[in-house]
Amino acid sequence: KPIFVLNGPNLNMLGVRKPEVYGTTTLRDIEHSVRSHAEKLGLGIEFMQSNHEGDLVDAIQRARSEASAIVINPAAFTHYSIAIHDALEAAELPVVEIHLSNVHQREEFRHRSFVSLQAETVIAGAGAFGYIMALDYLAQR
């Protein structure tokens, strides 16, 4: 089964949005490097981005039967989505939470994560490399 790599709101704006915080890598660049790294590891990938909470909940529900693990950058939903927390809990899969930026170094409202309660591993501040780290972690696991 593939690993679902899920990306939350505004991550489609990567490369344009606050490059001093998020870098100049686009989500397409990330998708390319995730796919080629996954191939090297012999892992399948399903990659998606949505600005809509319900679409992410639908994908997480589908993951329960269709995925082996979830890598998720929930973006702003990290900090307030109980629906995503609950969906991850119900999925009963290994979850790796990633953030491009070190959220703990930023505004107070980014310090709380509802997703971390359901995440086995949390990676923050490694930029796009965090996605590669997440795959390596799951491959080793």
Catalytic positions, written as ranges: 22, 99
Single-letter code of the amino acid located at 51: N
Please identify, using beta-carbon distances, which residue of 1 and 19 lies nearer to ligand DQA. 19
* Residue whose token pair is 């929930």: 74
- Phi, psi torsion values for 106, nearest 5 degrees: -110, -160
Please identify, using beta-carbon distances, which residue of 40 and 112 lies nearer to ligand DQA. 112
DSSP category for residue 118: G
**Order of strands across the sheet that contains 3-7:** 45-49, 3-7, 69-73, 95-99, 121-124
Which residues ranging from 13 to 72 are in contact with ligand DQA (CB under 6 A)? Answer: none
Per the annotation, does 79 bind a ligand? yes
Q: How far is the CB of 89 from ligand DQA (least distance, A)?
A: 20
Which residues ranging from 75 to 114 are in contact with ligand DQA (CB under 6 A)? Answer: 75-76, 78, 99-101, 103, 110
CB 72 within 8 A of CB 97: yes
- Binding site for substrate, residues? 73, 79, 86, 100-101, 110
Interface residues with ligand DQA (CB under 6 A) are: 10, 73, 75-76, 78, 99-101, 103, 110
